[in-house]
Amino acid sequence: MKDAIKNSGVSYSYIPSNRFKTTLISVGFYLPSSRNNAANALALYLMRSGTEALPDTYSFNRKLANLYGASITSWIAKLGDCQELRLGITVNDDRYSIGNEHTVDEAGKLLCDMIFARFLSKSDYPAEAVSREKRLLKEAVASKLNDKRTYARNRCEAIMCANEPFGLPEEGTEEEISALENGEIRKAFERILKESFISIQVVGASEPVCFADSFSKCLSAVGRDYKALPDDVITAARDGDTVTETMPVKQGKLVLGLRSENGGADRDTVANWIMGDIFGGGPYSKLFCNVREKMSLCYYCSARSNRRKGIILVDSGVEDQNIEAAKAAILQQLDDMRNGRFSDKDMASSKLSMCDSIRSVESDQSALARWYAARSLEKSPASPAEICELLNAVTREDIINAAKSFRLDTVYVLRPDGTQKEAE
């Protein structure tokens, strides 16, 4: 990896790999999560829809086809208290072009045009494109409501972090998206290009020769006013709130939000990762083996760790009459972790599974880009191999101390309302 773009708040990494027949150029923009999330998300959707020179779907897709079927990817996510907006292009490596075309460079130029051209020329997107991308963004938001497991986790996060940026939806709400006007969209482009932390990853056998220079020139024309990202809010658990809602579902959802003051995404929180996995990760975990299998209290029961925030969410699908028993059983498993009631085999299984999963990112181009993108925001970035070394060095005492740092903060319950109209 190397730094190639000399501009405040920009990180550039080239990850050479001969494993892939394509090259991926991925650009991520990071801003503090706020009520501007909807406008920022729509700006990203518009970027991916085409360029000023290729404003309609037909001409844009034709350009991608001429680049041997290049593909565009985008995603919006939370990374701690930041909103992550990422846009990428994947194209055949130059060595596979029929006429010795510089396909990777061409793809880099196209990506720069997608990001910068309309902003620099001060031209608005066609009304048709704005309307279409609004609809697609609202559909993406609505899909999370339709998936009740995702909905329940998101509701617990929102309640638990109601006074923190992390509690805001990364794509905004349907109402916020519908209300967006051209002026707000223009401000979102300006905010993204001028103020965000920008993390660029290039993964493949060929590094685009001109991309870094083209990107730098565009940034200079934009006129950067980079705002350093604030630290993530990490707090102790409160006296657990319990929020209950009802919906036309057949299966209830129970989500427990646990907090630790030992948060952060750097090397000193690796023990939290292992602890969360033994507690509720794979089929060897305490929650799976005991709450789901032995006690048969739920259809599924697992834990998901967010090291940056010092949060673990335990989510389960339960029958209404088993909600209280499932909650008690989950907390008992946490208590067992605090008291060291897990075996050396549990530790070995967790470390092996986690390292297999982490090392697998090296075989997936998009996953590899995402790995180094997330690391670019850390104080001590580490490769997959380095993280595996740290995981394998975690001791039983480290895991016990990590478990002791977590306390129950929020309980979210989604109960059936009795109508049972929705099949799951």
Among candidates 88, 91, 115, 87, which has minimal Cα distance to 101?
91
pLDDT, residue 4, reads 59
Phi, psi of 100 (to 5 degrees): 60, 30
Q: How far apart are CA 413 and CA 315, in angstroms?
A: 10
Q: How far apart are CA 416 and CA 252, in angstroms?
A: 6
DSSP per position, 65-126: HHTTS-EEEEEEEEETTEEEEEEEEEEE-GGG-TT---HHHHHHHHHHHHHHHHHHHT-PPP
Q: What number of residues does the chain have?
A: 424
Domains plus CATH for the chain?
10-222 (3.30.830.10), 241-416 (3.30.830.10)
Relative orientation angle of helices 344-359 and 396-404, to the nearest 10 degrees:
90
**Structure tokens, 15:** 């990850």
**Structure tokens, 8:** 């405040």
pLDDT, residue 253, reads 96
Among candidates 141, 47, 33, 37, which has minimal Cα distance to 87?
47
DSSP for residue 293 = I
C-alpha to C-alpha distances, 415 to 86, 162, 255, 323, 351, nearest whole angstrom? 36, 22, 12, 9, 36
Q: How far apart are CA 237 and CA 228, in angstroms?
A: 27
What's the burial of 84, exposed, middle or buried (CB within 10 Å: 0-12/13-18/19+)? buried
pLDDT in tens, 114-168: 999 999 999 989 999 999 999 999 999 999 888 999 999 999 999 999 999 999 9
Full pLDDT tens readout for the chain, 424 residues: 345 565 679 999 999 988 999 999 999 999 999 999 999 999 999 999 999 999 999 999 999 999 999 999 999 999 999 999 999 999 998 787 887 788 999 999 999 999 999 999 999 899 999 999 999 999 999 998 889 999 999 999 999 999 999 999 999 999 999 999 999 999 999 999 999 999 999 999 878 888 888 999 999 999 899 989 999 999 999 887 899 999 998 899 999 999 999 888 767 789 999 999 999 998 999 999 999 999 999 999 999 999 899 999 999 999 999 999 999 999 999 999 999 999 999 999 999 999 999 999 999 999 999 999 988 888 777 889 999 999 999 999 999 999 999 999 999 999 998 786 544 4
Q: How far apart are CA 178 and CA 295, in angstroms?
A: 46
Q: Fill in the amino acid letter for 174.
A: E
Contact present, 163 and 191 (Cβ < 8 Å): no
What's the burial of 133, exposed, middle or buried (CB within 10 Å: 0-12/13-18/19+)? buried
Radius of gyration of the chain (CA): 23
Q: Phi-psi bin for 50: left (phi > 0), alpha (psi -120 to 50), beta?
A: left
Distance in Å from the first CA to the final CA of the chain:
46
pLDDT, residue 41, reads 98
pLDDT, residue 369, reads 93
Residue 111: Cβ within 10 Å count: 26
Q: Fill in the amino acid letter for 316.
A: S
pLDDT, residue 280, reads 95
Q: Collapsing DSSP states into helix, strand and coil, what is residue 370?
A: helix
Q: Collapsing DSSP states into helix, strand and coil, what is residue 208?
A: coil
Residues pairing with 410 in the sheet: 241, 257
Q: Under 8 Å CB-to-CB from 72, ≥6 apart: which residues?
A: 48, 64, 87, 88, 89, 114
pLDDT, residue 3, reads 52
Q: How far apart are CA 45 and CA 32, in angstroms?
A: 19
Q: How far apart are CA 257 and CA 311, in angstroms?
A: 7
Q: In what order do the strands lie in the sheet with 10-16?
A: 10-16, 197-204, 22-32, 82-92, 71-79
